[in-house]
Amino acid sequence: MRLLKPLEVIWIHDDCISPPGPKMVVCVEARLGFFFRINTRPNWQQSLFLKKGPDHPFFHHDSYLECGDPLELDEYVIEQSLDEKGVIGTVSQALIPDILEAVRTASRMSEKDKRTIAMFLDPGGVHLPTRGEE
């Protein structure tokens, strides 16, 4: 299986939304299959604004990244998406500090998952808070 890179975006069929249908998701941890949904509205506590434009030319309109509780997708769903549509884009790397802050403050995510996502998005620890900022 091809592992996705940080913040690559794919389309999946999402049965958990109403009505069920296609949904863009962002890879936040490839080995575990962790993804965040992209939404049209900031319906969730940990929603991060994503502007349509040069950084996100694949968007049809401004959107929001749902950073509170990752979807855990299995290999079949990811492979099916890659086979059918491939990677459709990448969320701007400039948003990593904001994504990590949203992950850090997410109340519904385990500390282990928070650390795992942070290590995937920021393996060098460049965007982690210093002792004085914690």
Q: Phi, psi at residue 115, to the nearest 5°?
A: -65, -40
Q: Is residue 68 part of a domain?
A: yes
Helix (H, G, I), strand (E, B) or coil at 101: helix
Do the beta carbons of residue 38 and residue 64 sit within 8 Å? yes
According to the model, what pLDDT value does residue 130 have?
A: 46
Structurally, the chain folds into a number of domains equal to 1
The pTM of this model reads 0.89
- What is the percent of the chain with per-residue pLDDT over 70, rounded to a whole number? 93
Geometric angle at alpha carbon 98, from 88 and 111, rounded to 5°:
100
Q: Is residue 3 part of a domain?
A: no
According to the model, what pLDDT value does residue 128 have?
A: 61
Q: Is residue 38 part of a domain?
A: yes
Do the beta carbons of residue 28 and residue 9 sit within 8 Å? no
**What's the rounded Cα separation, in Å, for the pair 95 and 104?**
14
For position 128, which CATH number holds? 2.30.30.110
Q: Is residue 126 part of a domain?
A: yes
Q: Is residue 2 part of a domain?
A: no
Digit-coded pLDDT (tens) for 63-111: 999 998 899 999 999 999 999 999 999 999 999 999 999 999 988 899 9
